[in-house]
Amino acid sequence: MASAVEIDAMRRALQLARRGPRGLNPQVGAVILSPAGEILAEGYHRGAGTAHAEVDALSRLSPDAARGATAVVTLEPCNHTGRTGPCALALIEAGIGRVVYALDDPTDAASGGADRLRAAGVDVESGAEREAAEALVHDWAVLKRTGRPHVTVKWAQSLDGRAAAADGSSQWITGPAARRDVHARRARADAIVAGTGTVRADDPALTARADDGSLLETQPVPVVVGRSETAPDAAVRRHPRTPLFYDSHDLAAVLADLGEKGIQRVFVEGGPTLASAVVRAGLADELLVYLAPVLLGGSRLALGDVGVPTIADARRLAVASVQNLGDDLLIVAHPSSDREGES
């Protein structure tokens, strides 16, 4: 069982891990403790091709300084050779006497480091701060398992299921608290996806903004999908991140390409047509529905055809949470079968 000192070190390692970039590799942090429990060195993974967290930490010590020490790592030390060598072997060669890690590596290629360490006589303990470590690498794990980013589909609707009034106006169905929540979630995404129809009709900036309209520190990459041309003066072309344009209706292919670019989480906010298409294709991992206590009537539904010809084919959801945001409600749900498959 991990000691209180090792738990503290793991929490520090998780902080370090978040300094690393999101992308094709997981965010990992490491702390080296002396036999007396003092921090000898810290490290984290700085991106593809750079030293892994354990090796980064070890590199800050003089030869033999890690002998008999404890390595505290957020993810099981890897057991394969890629652009860098196996971290498990590096720890063994450094003379580390104990390894405490939070989460087993979920990939077949890199797992097995714990067994290799034990076979070399290293004391190994797993599971310290597991939930926090799982949350940290969740999107990366989805990318590794599916070959595409984690997909969140968001829409705002009236109580009677409309996304806009009869004349097409939709600003604002929801209130300031709901809009603030949306922008915070945009900032946590790696990319925000909209269809060309929405871009042409609404000219959205696809940025994450504060209440005063200023840009938040982190911004998602704007992605525009569809066959229609985007105007040269469209607001999205002035985004602080370089936009990506896909002249395609093959959403699975678009998401696969975004995954190859290291994008782990996308936020789909492109209007009823795109939202319906993503849900219909079975590509939505999470649904965010902002429900406003207003009635609009008319034909402008928040969601269109999602491939449900009969009630027996209804897409069942598991509601994760319901939250009050001012006068509005936010319902967070996941496709039931997907969530069961993740557990």
Active site residue 54: yes
Catalytic residue among 54, 76, 129, 269: 54
Dist. CA 68–CA 266, nearest whole Å: 43
Q: Which of 69, 78, 119, 132 is nearest to 99 (CA)?
A: 69
In the 3-class helix/strand/coil scheme, how is 142-171 assigned residue by residue? HHHHHCCCEEEEEEEEECCCECCCCCCCCC
For 298, residues 6+ apart whose C-beta sits below 8 A from its C-beta are 162, 165, 166
For 332, residues 6+ apart whose C-beta sits below 8 A from its C-beta are 286, 287, 288, 319, 320, 321, 322, 323
- Residue 227 tokens, joined: 């066959």
For 234, residues 6+ apart whose C-beta sits below 8 A from its C-beta are 199, 203
Point out the residues that are catalytic.
Answer: 54
